[in-house]
Every structure is written in structure tokens, then in C-alpha cells.
Amino acid sequence: MPTTRRANKALSGDENVRSNGASAKTVPVRARGPFVLPGADDDDDRHSKPCPAWTCRVCSIEDTPEWMIWNRHVRSGYRVGFGWRGATASVFKWHNDTVNIWSHLIGMVMFVALIVRTFQTTHAGVGLSAPPDYWVTGADVARVERIQYATRWRQDIRRDRDDLRAIDVDLHEKVLKGSAAGHAVHDVAHELLNVTHELAEHLETGEEAFKVDKRRMILRRSLIKTQKVLTALERSGGDDFSAFAEQCRKLRTKLKQLQQHIEHVPDDPEPVKPVARWPMYLFLAGAVLCLSLSAVCHTYCCVGKVESEQMWRLDYFGIAVLIVSSFYPIVHYQYYCLPGFRFFYLTGVTTLGCLALIPTYLKAFQKVEYAHLRATLFVALGSFGIFPIFQQVFFVWRITPTPVMEAFRWEMAMAVGYISGAALYGLQIPERFRPGSFDHFGCSHNIFHFLVVSSAWFHYRASMIYLTWRDNYTCEADHELLLDWYHLGSHFKYPSH
């Protein structure tokens, strides 16, 4: 039975279609690719009936309108007759798009968490990562050791501060009850937190303030004061104190650690020089946007033919945004001291990204004959990254292992993930070998979604390597290790910020 006739029968319930001999045009089921909008070239004017309820039908391919079929090897699990409400409810139901929706919803949450983590790397300078000892950075050995030493101290102070904040949160509810002992213990926690802030500020600015005994003496006196308060509370005992005995024990432990830190913290630590974070925020926001739009697309592409086209446009827009935004941290930090090259590459990829968006909005480009053009534009957009990365890896750096080579491994893992995912998706592997066996889990589209999230995370790891490198060494590595023609050609320039 032709697909169109069976779909009409399933949707309209007309049992007389076959008996009255009405002719129906046979429309072949076509495989849908990532750059072909479902129904874009289809003149079939059938629409699925909107479903007023939260629970609608999940049908096999024989009962599904042709515009909804995105892979002819996926034989079941199609959401037929779903309205907006039904599609929303289907997020929590089992069908052939459930994995596609949730893989990118979970990925979106993960990248939101990475935005928060990136923000924390500049807070008071204590979140900066320590560069590995084996990196070749162009800095002299003494400076490398100073950076490593100061970074480890900042990490120790960050742990102290996190522990004290946890104690402070634990105390909060008990203090609200009006206990005198509780208020005293709470004041001790705040005093110790102030000490960690003082130490963090010293380690951030790198000023030689601790060479002056006055500042160190002030912190010593502060700790002595808190020690006396804790001792008095412990001696007083009683029911009022017993409720806070555990918190007092933890505070005394942190007090001893801070006493040691005050005595041994370096007088003149290497100062913090964090570079701009906006390229990282741009990439992470692009990842969040792409993954969220993909989840929205797979949720509501079943509502109707016109709505499906709109959803796929949003999906393509998210893909373009993710590709373009991924370039910004890599290019900005790689060419941090080469503004000419940085401007050239970022302008080029942004321009290509705008061009790649044209097929997603112009109606004329939605026809099937332009599918190869759309695919070529997106492939060209992603392939543009070969030039800035390979320029640094193969034509610039003379000594390894540098941070560039360290990040290059993660970039290669990202490329393998994207390319293999796209290849499996285009070839419809593994479902083409066993049609119907991977309808709900394990089809090429599911695999592609997981690889997209994984590859974006690989790119984040590479970007963090560049960020760590620039935070700690700015332009020193470039000045010492770059090929002479960068300098002779007047390309090199220290950034103004």
C-alpha cells in the first residue's frame, strides 16, 4: 500500500478510500539529512489533526505522514497527531525522539554549569589553574616556579574559604534560634572568613605587603582573638554549647591551618593577571543555545508541517552559532599577542557563519536541490578552523610540549567526534543494517547527539588550556618561541589589557 494512502487512512479514519477506487499519488519515503527540511519540497497538503489531549498516538511508519519521516530505517515511534501541548508532554514519553531531546537537554545543563565554573576562575584570583610543570612556556625557570608556588597557595586558600563557608551555612539555621553560643560561633566563622579574604587579596595582587610586620601582625591578632572565643565556649560547656560542638571543632581545625598559612605565605607572590573571559562565555553561551534549540526542535517538529520547517530552521541556526562561537576562545587566546591574525580569523569565521545562515531563512533555498549547498556551507564553516590551528601547530612553534600542542590533542578528539558522528548520521548506521531495531535508542541520530555534546566538551578542555596558559604567562611564550618572521613582520604586539 502506498505510504500516502496509508497515512491518510490512519489519520482520517476513512475506510472507503480503497473501496471507491480513489487514486492516490505514491510518495516515496525519503531519508532526512541534517540539511534537508522535512516536507520542504513536498506538495502533499495533508496535515495531522491537532491532538487536544496530553496523550496522543505513537505510530509506525505506515501510519505516519511523509513529512514527519526523517529516516526510512526508523520504523516506529513517530508522534502523529500531537499538538503543542501533546508535544510538550511527549518530552516525558518514550518515542523515537526521546533520546534526541534528553541528550541535548542534559548537555545544555552541563554547559550552563561550565559557565558558572568559568566565572569562578577569576573570582578573587583564587580559581586560576596551575599550569603543568612540563609545559614549555618561554619563561625563565625562576618565574615558572614562582607561578606554580603562588597558584598552589591560591588553591589552598580557596579550599579554606570553601570549608568555612560550608560551616557558616551549617550554622545559619541554629543561629536563627537566638542562641548566644550560636552567635559567638557564627562571629568566629566570619572572622576566619575575613582572614581568608585578606590572604586571597594578597595572593592576587602580589604586593610585598607581608614584608611589613604590621599586616601579618593584624592577622595574627585576629586569629588569637577567635582562638580565645572558641576556648571560652568550650570551657563554658552546657546545653547551649553542645549544639555547636561539632562546628567549633571544625573551626578550630581551620584556625590552626590559617595560623600556619599566615606564617608561610610568600611575601611577594607572583601576581594574578587573568585575561578576558568573554571568548569563553561566548562559546559556552553558543553551546547552550545550540543544544537548547536542538531540544526544542526535536520536541515540536511533530506539531505540523509548517511548524516542523520552523523548528528545523531554529536547529540550523543553533548549529551555525555553535560553530562560530567555538572559534572565539581558540583564536583569541592562540593569537592573543598577534592582533592582526586574530582579527582576520575571527572576521572570516563570523562572515562565513552569516553566509551559512542564509539557507535557513530564505524560502528558495529550502528546496531539495539546494541541500548540497547548505551542507557545503556548514562543512566549510567548520573546516575554516584548520587554518588558525594548523598555522600555530605546524608553522610557528619550534619546541614541544607547548600549551598549543597540549590543546591540539583535545581539538583532534573534537574533530574525530564531530566527523564520525556526521558520517554515521549521513550513512544511517547502524539502523540501515537492521531496520526497526534502533527506533527508540541507538540509531545514528542518537549517536550523533551524544558525540556533539562530547566534542563540545573536548573543545572546552582545549579552551581551558589556552586560558590557563594566558592567565599565567600572557605573551612570554610567544616572544621567546615564535618564529622570527612574526617579529620581523611586525605582527607581534603585547595586548593593552
449 is in an annotated binding site: yes
Report residue 120: phi and psi, to 5°. Answer: -70, -20
**Among 265, 309, 415, which residue's Cα sits nearest to residue 39?**
309
Report residue 58: phi and psi, to 5°. Answer: -115, 115
Cell numbers describing residue 110: 552541563
**Among 270, 268, 277, which residue's Cα sits nearest to residue 151?**
270
Containing 203, the helix (H) or strand (E) segment is: helix 180-205
Q: CB–CB of 478/138 below 8 Å?
A: yes
445 is in an annotated binding site: yes
**Beta-carbon neighbour count of residue 466 at 10 Å?**
23
Q: CB–CB of 186/193 below 8 Å?
A: no
Q: CB–CB of 64/78 below 8 Å?
A: yes
Q: In residues, how long is the chain? A: 497
**Among 358, 423, 356, which residue's Cα sits nearest to residue 384?**
356
Distance CA 424, CA 170 (A): 51
479 is in an annotated binding site: no
* Alpha carbon of residue 264 to chain centroid: 38
Distance CA 79, CA 293 (A): 19
Partners of 78 in the beta sheet?
59
Distance CA 440, CA 452 (A): 19
How distant, in Å, are the alpha carbons of 108, 293, 412, 463 from that of 111?
A: 5, 14, 20, 14
- Would you give the end-to-end CA distance of the chain in angstroms? 70
Contacts of 464 by beta carbon, 8 Å cutoff, 6+ apart: 129
Distance CA 491, CA 482 (A): 11
Q: CB–CB of 215/195 below 8 Å?
A: no
Partners of 421 in the beta sheet?
none
Give residue 17's identity as a one-letter amino acid code.
V
Cell numbers describing residue 210: 607581608
Cell numbers describing residue 98: 526521546
**Is the omega angle on the peptide bond into residue 271 within 30 degrees of 0, that is, cis?**
no
Partners of 206 in the beta sheet?
none
3 state DSSP class of 58: strand
Which residues does the annotation place in the binding site?
Answer: 298, 445, 449
Which residues does the annotation place in the binding site for Zn(2+)?
Answer: 298, 445, 449
